[in-house]
Amino acid sequence: PPDVAALGRSSWTLLHSIAATFPEAPSRAQQGDLVSFVQLFSRLYPCWVCADDFQSYIAREAPRVASRDDFGRWLCGAHNDVNRKLGKPVFDCDKWQERWVTGPKD
């Protein structure tokens, strides 16, 4: 079975990197692709308990894909939901771009 922590770190890197490079003004098709990707990802994620909880999160909080910042913040909320469950610090979502898009100021 996969190493759940290593899988998680690399998966969050992939997901936040997709958010970081998502268009600021996506077309309808790009928005549709992202919703489909998130839904399929949540069904195929190879940690079954993680996948179940991620699917429940998506059912409670529909993915927001109207813009890069919209999706980045939605994903930050999804990641924080897992952080809370695991007793990890909650991340300040106002800093998602600093962490994943621009890098820290100075």
Contacting residues toward ligand FAD, per CB under 6 A:
4-5, 8-9, 11-12, 16, 45, 49-50, 53-54, 76, 79-80, 82-83, 86, 88, 91, 96, 99
Residue nearest to ligand FAD (CB): 8
Q: In the 3-class helix/strand/coil scheme, how is 8-60 assigned residue by residue? A: HHHHHHHHHHHHHHCCCCCCHHHHHHHHHHHHHHHHHCCCHHHHHHHHHHHHH
Least separation in angstroms between CB 75 and ligand FAD: 7
Angle, in degrees to the nearest 10, between helices 28-44 and 4-21:
180
Cα(29)–Cα(79) distance, rounded to whole angstroms?
A: 25
Closest CB to ligand FAD among 30 and 52? Answer: 52
Least separation in angstroms between CB 104 and ligand FAD: 11
Closest CB to ligand FAD among 33 and 55? Answer: 55
